[in-house]
Structure 1
Amino acid sequence: MEHLLEIDQLKTYYFTDCGIVKAVDGVSFSVEKGQCLGIVGESGCGKSQTALSIMGLVSKPQGRIVSGKILYRDKKGHITDLATLSPNGYEYRSIRGKEIAMIFQEPISSLSPVYTIGDQIVEALIEHTTLSKKEATHRAVELLKTVGIPAAEERIHDYPHQLSGGMCQRAMIAMALSCEPRLLIADEPTTALDVTIQLQILRLLKELQERLSMGLMMITHDLGVIAEIADYVIVMYLGKVVEKGPVRKILREPKHPYTQGLLQSRPSGTAGKVRLNPIRGVVPSAIDPPAGCPFSTRCPKVLDKCSAFPPFALWEEGHAAACWLYENFM
């Protein structure tokens, strides 16, 4: 399969007055053409920071990529290490928004309140294409229709506050897809939306991904979203990948105690009163993480040797977990 993006031992740290925050700490994975990669984990596990690192949007001056590679393959097969580029340089800006696009968590706050949604889509098109303003406006209307916004010819003149949360999210998707990216990163795209709209957004993203043959990187804390849309999954905890594999393997045969805990803490959906089984404790501080396995302070199966971070144990079909409970290490 063709790697659109390959992350190799990425480390993104924030240097604060309180200490070094290891937001992303040695993460490796790849995204294939036409594949949906799901990244799942609790808040603070490094999912969004991984996405921001790829997009060159790590907050300065405290945050920076300290090591690792972000290898992007363009249409001609040329590979560029984005981690070596200046985030504000021409080469990065020619990729960001055009070939790699991102949908952010909160559409209302991500869209500018002083410009119409049409103006914001047109601006992206003019920046990255050779379209005239008239042609870009026509294309913007087509995009709004594609993402299911009714009366697109009128809605294009609306400001974000005039649209519902679901409509704003669709407008964000239209903007992200405006230049037909090869890779789309969706960071919690269904947050704060009701269940019906969530399902519509997920189905829309999956349909567009298949139609455009683009890679999709879905970031979420919701395993229900992962089950609905992902092909391959990585599970992150405290800046590290602790399990990875095909979605059916992760959901049916989770190996890492953290992944098992995430699945056990989900509502069962069965009738009657069923007590949830949450993961005990809280995520440790990324400034002073535990030595070895980051989940050791909350793990019900902790061993003495968990004081050292384990290698990945490998099963069939690329299913692997970083846990000392197993012996089939890579």
Structure 2
Amino acid sequence: MDSMYYHIVPPEVSPTAQNTLNFDNYTDPDDLPPKNDSLLFDTFVSLLIEVSTEQLKNVKSNIMNTYDLHRSDVADVKMAFKDIEDKYTDIITTKLKTMLDGKPINITDHFMIDFMDVSNYILEKVLRYHIKNVKGKIESPTKWYRETLKEKILRQQTKIAFNYVENSVCETLQVCRDRYYYSDYLADWLRTLMNVTPRDLKRFFIPITDVLERHKYFIKSNIKFRQTIKYIINADAIVKRDTLDFLDEILTNPDKVLKSVPHGLKPSVTLLRELFSIIDGVYDVNDQNIEQLENITEMLRDWIEGNSFDVHKVLNAIVDNIRVNLQIWPLDIQNKIYYVWSEILVL
């Protein structure tokens, strides 16, 4: 393997990523895992590598086609990503051999999820290495964050790739990451939508005005809010994707996004963060809610796979689920939510 790849991803994964692997799961030779566990792990590794390399191709296509790059930039990206799938595969298989060399392991769902995290870490590092020398428009600053377009692309595309990999492993092998909060589902939906085509992004946003009208007695709005929604609907796909990414960042990296956004957006970050925090604090992830949330998740994933999709049905299902839950929450919580939302509307 080329030494430069050991430089970006050394044989031993970084302490942060390596700590995610539970090496306490090693067992004595007399306690080898059942054969079916070994077969499951082999299937898991094969699927993980297949889906991850598929996503690297998807990332390359997305970068070339969805960020309005100059023709010369697209050519540079195409050249920079040559053989990237092979490099990822070489590194992950080498890491796996090193990790398993003569060491029986208790194959659990937790261990496989930890290994998937290591795989994602390697995928990101390989992606960063291959794009680092691409110049041109990709190095220009962005409007929403104190970062370059290249940094934004890396953030958005790794989110999309990681989410797709995790969902594929979950659906195929039922090896799934636990979801404890409403925001865990919401982040999944946002990242799934970030991965659709510009045409489908517009198709998703257009019905929002109809849904707001249908639920106008529940979702309060004003002229400015409705104008903002119309602006996003009519804007380019980049704006729509950035909007989804902005919401995702508030859910998953609120402190970071608060520091990096322009001053004018900081109140929005603070209030939306408070709103999501209140909802997460009271939302009961019980069997009934899980079923409804998973139905929404499945409809969105089916859309990604090219199946028929009713946007109104999905949006109304999201609103109805929150509305029904809000009605049973304590009155002081309801008042807090209405107050924060009213503050958002007047920004």
TM-score surpassing 0.5? no
Greater per-residue strand proportion:
1
Question: TM-score normalised by the shorter chain: which range applies?
Answer: under 0.3
Q: Which has the larger radius of gyration?
A: 2
Decide which structure has greater helix share: 2
Q: TM-score, normalised by structure 1?
A: 0.27
